[in-house]
Amino acid sequence: MAETGRVKGRLLLVANLVAANAAAAACVIALVKPSAFGSVLALPYESGSSWLVFLPAMLLLAANFAWLVRRAPAPVPRTYVQSETPTGPVRVAREALEAGLRVAGEQLPEITRLRVAVDCGQQKRVLVQGHFQCAEGTSNHNASQRLRTALRERFAEMVHLGDGVRVEFELEFQGFVGKLAKKGADQRASLEPEPPPFTGPQYPIDDDEGGGHT
């Protein structure tokens, strides 16, 4: 019903605009060329009242023409995603969100390069685009699935979207770059526990096998 009311209002506005322009144009033509309408509508030049009609009509036509051809101002682009918190909404900058998602994706050993772009121009939809490259010898299909999961989890940690707002992820594979062995070895080494530091001999010290007291 609200949409129907807006359409009717716009149609009424257009009808009024057309009628006003037609009346103004008729007044201008009646003064410039009185014979165009015969004796029905004639505005002689020497009459002061004719100019009182002519000048406002010209001004109205000029104003309407300027309004019709004017270029609508470009909307200010949104550079943030609104996150809902118990204490109120918080704006998360697009740059911070892109950086956090990129770090989360590049922590996967098979992802060698990742570029993330977040489109937050729409109020009800957030689009996350990821352009990634995999290490040689890996499956880009499996890598894309793991990457999508990692990005989705990291996004949920950084942003809590309100009702009716959805996030979509679009991933694009751009080829194989780098080796998995080196990156995987570095990651495995970082996960291995370090041996405890040496603090000296521990007592009591057991006798060596086969030894005895003298």
**Residue 174 is assigned to a structural domain of this protein:** yes
Is the same domain home to 37 and 117?
A: no
Is the same domain home to 44 and 146?
A: no
Classify strands 111-119 and 125-136 as parallel, antiparallel or unpaired. Answer: antiparallel
The share of the chain scoring above pLDDT 90, in percent, equals 42
Q: What is the pLDDT of residues 76-96, one digit of tens each?
A: 788 999 999 999 999 999 999
Residue 183 binned pLDDT confidence (cut-offs 50, 70, 90): very low
**Range of the structural domain that residue 57 is part of:** 12-68
**Residue 2 is assigned to a structural domain of this protein:** no
**Residue 198 is assigned to a structural domain of this protein:** no
Is the same domain home to 26 and 85?
A: no
Q: Can you tell me the distance from the alpha carbon of 52 to that of 47, in angstroms, rounded to the nearest whole number?
A: 9
Is the same domain home to 64 and 87?
A: no
CATH of the domain at 107: 3.30.70.1350
**Residue 209 is assigned to a structural domain of this protein:** no
**Residue 214 is assigned to a structural domain of this protein:** no
What's residue 36's pLDDT?
63
Total domain count, the chain: 2
Q: What is the pLDDT of residues 184-199, one digit of tens each?
A: 445 544 445 555 665 6
Is the same domain home to 51 and 124?
A: no
Is the same domain home to 132 and 153?
A: yes
